[in-house]
Amino acid sequence: MSAENMFSHKRLPSMDTKSKILNAAEAAIVKGGYGAFSFRDIAEEVGIKSASVHYHYPTKADLVVAVMVRFTHDFQAALPDPNTPDFDAKRTLNAFIDGFRAQNVEHHNMSICTMLTADKHQLSDVVSQSLADFYQVKLDWLTSVFKRLEGGTETAAQNRAGQFIAALHGASVLVQATGEPAWYEKVASSWRQPAD
């Protein structure tokens, strides 16, 4: 999978109900977090009744876990493998920066993981775990990328991965809070890799 496709795992308009529910829930979480959407909101978006949403996902925790599991899976599937000979670390990192902006900043949103993290105190353990799992996947992959990019120890690469994630997430907070999308590039620019 090419680096440009990392964030472009779009869904087709016509899908089964379960997927439509997950799509609606994912969009709702991105927009307002865990507490800001209801089963009725999701139901209306999908075109069914709220009881039918409960049929597919009995509780809200079930629903949100399912969203995070799918999100993590799709995210992971879209990432190029840093352990292949033709892996281009610089291009991949730049593509990641662009992808993050395209998915979050340009849609005037924060990432689904930042939103759920903010709501962590009201999440059940299963949901918290699915969130932590996603961050682990992301951190592990970025650690490999930075190891390819800069060499050094595992710990050093891990720290760089954390700093990188923090920068992008923090940048999207800044954009949201100030309403000035330009902040994203100002923050991300220090992480952009020059072309060979």
- Chain residues that interact with a copy of itself, rule: CB under 8 A: 31-33, 35-36, 110, 113-122, 131-132, 135-136, 139, 158-159, 162-163, 165-171, 173-174, 176-179, 183, 186-187, 189-190
Residue 40 is classified by DSSP as H
Comparison of 67 and 97: residue with beta carbon closer to DNA:
67
Nearer to a copy of itself, 56 or 138 (CB): 138
Q: Do 26 and 74 contact (CB within 8 A), yes or no?
A: no
Nearest distance, CB of residue 70 and DNA, angstroms:
17
| 8 Å CB contact between 165 and 98 | no
Q: Which listed option, a copy of itself, DNA, none, makes contact with residue 13 (CB within 5 to 8 Å by class)? A: none
Decide whether 48 or 173 has the Cβ nearer to a copy of itself: 173
Dist CA 139 CA 35 (whole Å): 27
Applying CB under 7 A, among 5, 19, 50, 193 the residue interacting with DNA is 50
What CA–CA distance (Å, rounded) separates 196 from 106?
Answer: 28
Q: Which is nearer to a copy of itself, 84 or 153 (CB)?
A: 153
Cβ-in-10-Å burial (0-12, 13-18, 19+) of 96 comes to buried
